[in-house]
Structure 1
Amino acid sequence: MLNHVIYEKMFAQCLVVFVISCLTNVIAKDDVHFDKWLDEHGISADSVDYETWKANLEYVEMHNRGGHSFTVIMNKFAHLTPKQLVKATNLFVHDNDNDKYFVSSGPLPDSVDWRENGVVTPVWSQSQEDSAIPFSASDVLASHFAIETGKLIEASREELVECCHYEPCHSVSAEDPFTCVHHIGGICSEESYRPGNTCVCHNNTCTQIGTVNGSCVIPRGNETALQAAVAKQPVMVMVDAGHKSFQLYQSGTYYEPDCSSTILDHSMLVVGYGEFSTGEEYWIVKNSWSTLWGDLGYMLMARNRNNNCGIATMAEYPC
């Protein structure tokens, strides 16, 4: 009987030691991975919520084992939640006097990639305090003028921020960027516009690269019309980016069944489209979260899958 009690105590002690050993190994493994991630991205451990990082690590490992059409990775945003990363961008109001609904005609090419034509600017690195709209709007303006003139010149994001009232010089509701460019008489180059300290528009001393008449708007939710517009030039879109899958996207065709097609919180630039031999259709989309996100700053988003993430809900380009 005594021996039996002794054996039970020894077993319990061994079990406790085994469990502690296992937990220590897991924590040690995570700490090594965590330290490596901190070093890779130049982030201080003091600024990171470890539990959020750990939850994202578990999500990445689970997702990449799930047979999805895209992969995710512990990128430089892996210490954040989607709400911390994606701020709802400024709402903007369309001026119906200057807006035109896009009308397509004629056959469309099977695939388009405007990067191959040299009319797409480099990927920006947007801060969390900025609205994404000035980034995508300045990109689409630069592409618009490059297609017209053959010269790619970066349009001033700071001018859009200060003159059209986007964050951090924001109002609750900002003016449509292309209507604003029409009203202020054109857009200057990024190089020549010098931002002020008071968020006051001062575009009378910089060098203009062109002006527009307003916006060409894609019929709401119409991906066929969006395809026709992208065949003509890159197009600015609004999307629902508030998901871990978007935040940690690495490569492949992005499809998120939980995406909303109406609650949109981020602006991007569609620079092309195509289709894989498997029949999987995609949009080529440029983000403004640096080349360390996605595929060097780009992602492929599912095309013709019920307007996934609202890519065709609020799409437009300068006319």
Structure 2
Amino acid sequence: MKFLVLLALFGVAAAAVHRAVNEELTADWVAFKAKHGKTYEDAEDLTRRTIWEKNLKKIEHHNIRASLGEHTYTLGMNKYGDLTATEFVETMNGYAMADKTDKSKGLSFMTPLNIQVPASVDWRTKGYVTPNLVDCSGDEGNQGCEGGLMDQAFTYIQKVGIELEKDYPYTAEDDTCVYKKSKKAAEDTGFVDIPSGDETALVAAIASVGPISVAIDASQDSFQLYAGGVYNEPACSSTQLDHGVLAVGYGTDPTGGDYYIVKNSWSDTWGVAGYILMSRNKDNQCGIATAASYPTV
């Protein structure tokens, strides 16, 4: 009798596991793992697949609403699609909110007199993001993947220099600093801070200076799965920032409205070839103008 009871319980448990996933998506799950080089043991595979299927449903529902004009951007599956929003933030976002110390004081940005700000600017040919800051700027107060400040990173560059992204690729992991002075591509003499929360000043800086480092709230699951369009996320915080990116331009979309062109550091497999259009002139949405700065050379 006990054997029959145990057998019945095993059957119920097996059925529950079976119902936890959509068998029609098995081939798609296998293809997803193959494309992104993912391999899991049985228990972990079930966990990751369950998360992946939930994200698929989220994408589908969001995009239906987008097709009805309720959203100005779309979502899509990417290599982070088998992570929960919490796991994604802990793995990928590393900006640390902190008070600036005396050793990281910069100049204040002053909008040039008589500047004529163009309607749109695009500096996407520049590509200045590099990850050796994650591994090597600890002495300036940054904490690797646990977070840091752009101004402290600029202080590091002033002292040591920086390599190109192709020579020091981003891995989303803390690692030993392997900076090679022989491959130094640039250095700076300090940095300039944009007035906090001032989007007019940020636009003027992008137009007159070039790409500007900005910190944003990238903790929403919609950011994790962003695929295109003008990202308008009212749930974003303008003060709780967790990710550093590069504003390389701005413009206006007839459907999505004003936007910033933002270069991320998660490779071209995320977003639109590594970029996102973030809402502009929406009360500093996602805090894009809260902690903006650029290096002086």
- Normalising by structure 1, report the TM-score: 0.70
Q: Among 34, 39, 45, which residue is 2:34 paired with?
A: 39
Q: Report the number of matched residues.
A: 258
Deviations 1:212-262 (A, max 9, x none): 332211111111111011112101111111111000011111111111111
Letter in 2 for 1:220: S
Whole-angstrom distance in 2 between the partners of 1:71 and 1:281: 17
Q: Is 1:281 matched up with 2:258?
A: yes
Q: Aligned Cα RMSD in Å?
A: 3.3
Q: Give yes or no for contact 2:206–2:249 (8 Å, CA) kept in 1.
A: yes
Give the % identical residues. Answer: 35
Letter in 2 for 1:34: W
Structure 1 residues 41 and 230, CA, compared in 2 at 3 Å: closer, same or farther?
same
Shift of 1:157: 3.9
Whole-angstrom distance in 2 between the partners of 1:60 and 1:172: 31
Q: Give yes or no for contact 1:212–1:318 (8 Å, CA) kept in 2.
A: yes
Structure 1 residues 241 and 70, CA, compared in 2 at 3 Å: closer, same or farther?
same
Aligned counterpart, 2:221 = 244
Q: Which moved more, 1:292-301 or 1:43-52?
A: 43-52
Letter in 1 for 2:163: S
Deviations 1:30-53 (A, max 9, x none): 323322322332222435422211
Shift of 1:308: 0.9
Letter in 1 for 2:244: S
Q: Is 1:81 matched up with 2:73?
A: no
Letter in 2 for 1:89: G
Shift of 1:188: 4.0
What is the correspondence of 1:11-90 to structure 2 with a 5 Å cutoff? 27-46=22-41, 47-48=44-45, 49=47, 50-67=49-66, 68-87=71-90, 88-90=93-95
2:246 counterpart SS class: strand
What is the correspondence of 1:173-192 to structure 2 with a 5 Å cutoff? 176-182=152-158, 184=159, 186-190=160-164
Q: Which runs of 5+ in 2 are unaligned?
A: 1-14, 169-173
2:65 counterpart SS class: coil
Aligned counterpart, 1:103 = 110
Aligned counterpart, 2:100 = 94
Whole-angstrom distance in 2 between the partners of 1:54 and 1:202: 40
- Normalising by structure 2, report the TM-score: 0.75
Q: Give yes or no for contact 2:192–2:295 (8 Å, CA) kept in 1.
A: yes
Shift of 1:301: 0.6
Q: Give yes or no for contact 1:160–1:177 (8 Å, CA) kept in 2.
A: no
Letter in 1 for 2:228: S
Q: Give yes or no for contact 1:98–1:213 (8 Å, CA) kept in 2.
A: no
Structure 1 or 2, whichever has the larger Rg, is 1
Structure 1 residues 174 and 109, CA, compared in 2 at 3 Å: closer, same or farther?
closer
